[in-house]
Amino acid sequence: MKRIASLAVAAIVTLALGACQLSPKTATQNGYRGTGMDQIQLTKVAMAKDEVPAPPYDPPATDGQRAKEVYQNVQVLGDESADQFNYTMAAITQWVSPEQGCNYCHNPENMASDELYTKVVARRMLQMTRNINRNWKQHVAATGVTCWTCHRGNAIPANYWTMPAAGKSGIIGNRHGQNDPVPESAFSSLPNASLALYITGDPKVDQNIRVQTTGLHPGSGNKTSTMSTENSYAIMMHTSQALGVNCTFCHNSQSFQDWSISTPQRAKAWYGIRMVRETNGQYITPLATVFPAKRKGTEGDPFKVNCTTCHQGKNKPMGGAQMAKDYHALWGETTPAVMAAPAAPAAAPAGGAPAR
List, as residue ranges, the binding site for heme. Answer: 89, 102, 105-106, 125, 139, 147, 150-151, 236, 247, 250-251, 307, 310-311
Runs of H (alpha helix) within 36-186 = 43-47, 67-70, 82-96, 117-135, 137-140, 147-151
Do 169 and 114 form a contact (C-beta atoms < 8 A)? no
- Give 346's contacts (C-beta < 8 A, 6+ positions apart): 259, 267
Q: Cα–Cα distance between 335 and 325 in angstroms, integer?
A: 17
**In Å, what is the CA distance from 76 to each residue of 131, 145, 331?**
12, 17, 12
Q: Which residues pair with 39 in a beta bridge?
A: 28
DSSP letter assigned to residue 80: S
Q: Which residues pair with 296 in a beta bridge?
A: 302
Residues making up the binding site: 89, 102, 105-106, 125, 139, 147, 150-151, 236, 247, 250-251, 307, 310-311
